């Protein structure tokens, strides 16, 4: 035990700082060496620049005191040679022929300071003390940068930033799956960052040097989607004036990201299933198939299992896509990520908007933490951008935010004629369901999450209240 304690003391001991004195005057070398040794420095001396350069290369020194006028190699030539050798010692020049021009030239060559002879011993001590303080600040700055880098590594996956336990677990899972060609299904509400997860998986895996092709299955007309995905030959249909390569072929060797896969028509789901099973595509109007090497990452904000039960999504395709699922939690369930995301967006918009916003005032941050964020991270990003445009100084205040449109109805406002609590409850419940469905553009799974009820419960209430949205 005593040996272990002794080792720890030895490891924690800070080594003495070392100084190399280069001067052709023996008396000057002796005087400086005696003074600095008394101050606790480890000192070596050299009679000219050539000898000093050899000693500098043989062992590192914290500081170098170097005269300018010397035989063989003068101080300026030593300074050039020291920098060419990438020596990181702090060099202080000395001269009895000091001029402003000479001092400026020495600084340009990398000297930290310049002392004119004759000098008092305290001047040398002060110059070294200032240099030591500068070196300490440099080390602390480097340490801080390293700590920031490690923090960002721990809380970043690709362009995603988060520190919540749920997201850290998600990052670890995504990093693992990135190394394999496994098909991945990313689920989560709109605005949670599903495409960013897909990009991070692609860029972290062996296909990172190959293309990643994103496709929004809900934004391409059904009549064109097959041609967009698999291509077509000239004359395959009206308007097909030339042969066109499909997006699967463009992604050959890389990754294709099928966003909003739940919007894909049933007829096309069959052809996608064949691609996943056989790694083959058949362009529209072509009789033969061709092989492709494409990793598929799909994403959806809809409940595919429910769609399978309703008959609007093929069961075999669902199981083929659902090899490994990554479920992105909504922002309201990971409030601890909001301050970190705000820092990230502030840094991003400081660059693009040429602002110098330092952060968010405590009252404004409290407002952000209380908001429900139905639009998730995308909504937060838009809110921060708008606030930075409106901010009058370096800090974002509550008045810069606009969280929610219009004036919500206050509790107690008349919503029906009568006094029945049961009737009022039903009217309010129907209003909330309609509001949620309109906000999610009819997405029942997302509406159920906003209402904090189960999907079957939502369907039952929609039937009872005769809601058809």
Report the CATH number that the domain containing residue 299 is assigned in CATH: 3.40.50.300
Closest to 457 (Cα-Cα) out of 429, 428, 438, 421: 429
* Residue finishing a domain among 98, 113, 145: 145
What's the token pair of residue 294? 């494409």
Domain identity same for 25 and 130: yes
Between residues 148 and 31, the one the model is more confident about: 31
Domain identity same for 95 and 178: no
* Torsion, Cα of 52, 57, 58, 64 (10° steps): 50
Q: Given a cut of 80, is residue 225 above it in pLDDT?
A: yes
Domain identity same for 183 and 260: yes
**Helix, strand, coil abundance in the chain, percent, nearest 5:** 50, 15, 35
Q: Given a cut of 80, is residue 453 above it in pLDDT?
A: yes
Q: How many domains does the chain have?
A: 4
Domain identity same for 88 and 129: yes
pLDDT given for residue 426 in this prediction: 78
Do the beta carbons of residue 93 and residue 115 sit within 8 Å? yes
Domain identity same for 324 and 349: no
* Residue finishing a domain among 309, 329, 349: 329
Q: Given a cut of 90, is residue 201 above it in pLDDT?
A: yes
Domain identity same for 341 and 303: no
Q: What confidence category does residue 86 fall into, taking pLDDT thresholds of 50, 70 and 90?
A: low
Distance from the Cα of residue 405 to its chain's centroid: 30
In a domain, 239, yes or no: no
Quick one: which H or E segment has residue 67?
strand 63-67
What's the token pair of residue 77? 């030539």
Q: What confidence category does residue 219 fall into, taking pLDDT thresholds of 50, 70 and 90?
A: confident
Average pLDDT of the residues in 143-147:
64
Domain identity same for 169 and 304: yes
CA dist list (Å): 347 to 157, 340, 353, 376: 17, 11, 10, 19
Average pLDDT of the residues in 104-112:
86
Radius of gyration of the chain (CA): 34
Residues 319-350: tens digit of each pLDDT = 999 989 999 999 999 988 999 999 889 988 99
In a domain, 414, yes or no: no
In a domain, 413, yes or no: no
In a domain, 204, yes or no: yes
Do the beta carbons of residue 309 and residue 350 sit within 8 Å? no
Distance of alpha carbon 158 from alpha carbon 203, whole angstroms? 8
* Residue finishing a domain among 280, 300, 329: 329
Domain identity same for 204 and 263: yes
pLDDT given for residue 59 in this prediction: 77
Closest to 385 (Cα-Cα) out of 399, 369, 401, 370: 401
**Domain range for 32:** 11-145
Least confident of 189-193, 345-349, 443-447: 443-447
Distance of alpha carbon 171 from alpha carbon 148, whole angstroms? 18
pTM: 0.58
- CATH code for the domain of 458: 1.10.10
| β-strand partners of 90 | 63
H-helix segments, 293-375: 304-310, 315-321, 338-353, 362-370
Of all residues in the chain, the percent with pLDDT exceeding 90 is 35
| Angle of CA points 176, 180, 182, to nearest 5° | 105
Average pLDDT of the residues in 413-426:
60
Q: What confidence category does residue 410 fall into, taking pLDDT thresholds of 50, 70 and 90?
A: very low
Domain identity same for 272 and 253: yes
In a domain, 94, yes or no: yes
Of all residues in the chain, the percent with pLDDT exceeding 70 is 89
Domain identity same for 36 and 114: yes
CA dist list (Å): 193 to 62, 139, 327: 49, 37, 11
Q: Given a cut of 50, is residue 12 above it in pLDDT?
A: no
Q: What confidence category does residue 243 fall into, taking pLDDT thresholds of 50, 70 and 90?
A: confident
In a domain, 4, yes or no: no
Bridge pairing between strands 290-291 and 280-281: antiparallel
Bridge pairing between strands 18-22 and 359-360: unpaired
Do the beta carbons of residue 258 and residue 297 sit within 8 Å? yes
Distance of alpha carbon 31 from alpha carbon 26, whole angstroms? 9
Do the beta carbons of residue 275 and residue 298 sit within 8 Å? no
Distance of alpha carbon 206 from alpha carbon 175, whole angstroms? 12
In a domain, 415, yes or no: no
Domain identity same for 16 and 113: yes
- CATH code for the domain of 347: 1.10.8.60
Residues 348-394: tens digit of each pLDDT = 899 888 888 989 998 889 889 989 899 999 999 999 999 998 888 88
Q: What confidence category does residue 102 fall into, taking pLDDT thresholds of 50, 70 and 90?
A: confident
Domain identity same for 320 and 340: no
Q: Given a cut of 50, is residue 9 above it in pLDDT?
A: no
Distance of alpha carbon 128 from alpha carbon 91, whole angstroms? 10
Q: What are phi and psi of 225, to 5 degrees?
A: -60, -40
pLDDT given for residue 153 in this prediction: 57
Distance of alpha carbon 385 from alpha carbon 396, whole angstroms? 11
pLDDT given for residue 328 in this prediction: 93
In a domain, 138, yes or no: yes
Quick one: which H or E segment has residue 464?
helix 455-464
């Amino acid at each position: 035990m005593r040996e272990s304690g002794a080792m720890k003391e030895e490891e924690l001991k800070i080594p003495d700082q070392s100084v190399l004195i280069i001067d052709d005057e023996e008396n000057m070398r002796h005087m400086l060496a005696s003074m600095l040794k008394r101050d606790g420095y480890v000192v070596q001396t050299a009679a000219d620049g050539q000898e000093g350069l050899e000693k500098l290369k043989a062992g590192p020194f914290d500081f170098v005191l170097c005269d300018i006028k010397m035989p063989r190699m003068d101080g300026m030539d030593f300074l050039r040679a020291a920098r060419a050798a990438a020596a990181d010692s702090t060099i202080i020049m000395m001269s009895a022929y000091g001029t402003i021009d000479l001092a400026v030239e020495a600084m340009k060559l990398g000297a930290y300071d310049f002392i004119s002879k004759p000098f008092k011993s305290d001047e040398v001590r002060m110059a070294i003390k200032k240099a030591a303080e500068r070196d300490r600040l440099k080390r602390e700055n480097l340490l801080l940068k390293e700590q920031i880098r490690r923090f960002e590594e721990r809380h970043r996956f690709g362009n995603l930033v988060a520190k919540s336990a749920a997201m850290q677990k998600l990052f670890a899972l995504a990093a693992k799956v990135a190394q394999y060609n496994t098909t991945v299904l990313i689920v989560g509400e709109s605005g949670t960052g599903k495409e960013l997860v897909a990009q991070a998986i692609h860029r972290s895996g062996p296909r990172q040097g190959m293309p990643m092709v994103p496709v929004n299955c809900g934004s391409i007309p059904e009549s064109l989607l097959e041609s967009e995905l698999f291509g077509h030959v000239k004359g395959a249909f009206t308007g097909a004036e030339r042969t066109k390569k499909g997006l699967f072929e463009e992604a050959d060797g890389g990754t294709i990201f099928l966003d909003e896969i739940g919007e894909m028509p049933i007829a096309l789901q069959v052809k996608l299933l064949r691609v996943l099973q056989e790694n083959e595509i058949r362009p529209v109007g072509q009789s033969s198939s061709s092989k492709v090497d494409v990793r598929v990452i799909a994403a959806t904000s809809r409940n595919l299992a429910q769609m399978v039960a309703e008959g609007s999504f093929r069961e075999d395709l669902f199981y083929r896509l659902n090899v490994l699922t990554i479920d992105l939690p909504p922002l309201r369930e990971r409030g601890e990520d909001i301050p970190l995301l705000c820092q990230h967006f502030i840094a991003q918009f400081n660059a693009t908007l040429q602002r110098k916003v330092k952060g968010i005032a405590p009252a404004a941050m409290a407002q952000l933490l209380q908001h429900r964020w139905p639009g998730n991270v995308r909504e937060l990003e838009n809110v921060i951008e708008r606030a930075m445009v409106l901010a009058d100084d370096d800090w974002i205040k509550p008045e810069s935010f606009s969280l929610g449109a219009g004036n919500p109805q206050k509790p107690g406002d008349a919503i029906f004629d009568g006094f029945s609590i049961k009737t009022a409850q039903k009217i309010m419940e129907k209003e909330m369901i309609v509001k949620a469905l309109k906000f999610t553009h009819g997405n029942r799974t997302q509406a159920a999450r906003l209402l904090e009820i189960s999907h079957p419960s939502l369907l039952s209430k929609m039937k009872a209240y005769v809601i058809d949205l």
